[in-house]
Amino acid sequence: MQSEAEDGTQTGAMITLTDVARAAGVGESTASRVLRGHGSFSTKTRESVLTAARSLGYVPNRIAGTLASMGSKLVGVVIPSLSNIVFPDVLRGANTVLVGAGFQPVVAVTDYDPEREENVIESLLSWRPAGMMVAGLEHTVRT
């Protein structure tokens, strides 16, 4: 979402954590910790931050959060096909377990193309995921 100027017009800037903190009347670190579910805060503070974030349309910057924490909740899941009867079940099971554990699966389908598999895995690894799952029987030395 975009920020609004004092006159209510759009400024073109993305809503930031600073905007949420200001609207909630708290510091940035407090707003950040409330939004990430870390720390113990009064009900009033927590509701104030969450209400401000919702009303402003705040969307967390996951890249910044990952850089700040040097951790990620992403897990790459690479499957060779959605047509093969086995892999949709693999994907469904992986999704259930990962989401239940607080992770976000990022899915890629390679269509049994070894070069595509290498490229997809390299791309996913550039996001520094918490883990990778690569299904299938045939892989290259790089994968």
Q: How far apart are CA 56 and CA 54, in angstroms?
A: 6
Confidence (pLDDT) at 12: 45
Confidence (pLDDT) at 137: 86
- Helix residue ranges per DSSP H, the chain: 17-24, 28-36, 43-56, 62-69, 86-100, 114-125
Do residues 45 and 78 both lie within one domain?
Answer: no
Confidence (pLDDT) at 53: 94
User: Which residues span the domain enclosing 13?
Assistant: 2-60
CATH code for position 123: 3.40.50.2300
CATH code for position 53: 1.10.260.40
Confidence (pLDDT) at 134: 94
Confidence (pLDDT) at 67: 56
**Which of 11, 26, 60 delimits the end of a domain?**
60
Confidence (pLDDT) at 5: 45
**Cβ neighbours of 57 (radius 10 Å):** 12
Confidence (pLDDT) at 10: 40
Contact assessment for residue 105 and residue 95, using Cβ atoms and an 8 Å cutoff: yes
Do residues 39 and 74 both lie within one domain?
Answer: no
Confidence (pLDDT) at 2: 43
- pLDDT-flagged residues of the chain (< 70): 1-13, 62-71
| In a domain? residue 9 | yes
Q: How far apart are CA 8 and CA 95, in angstroms?
A: 41
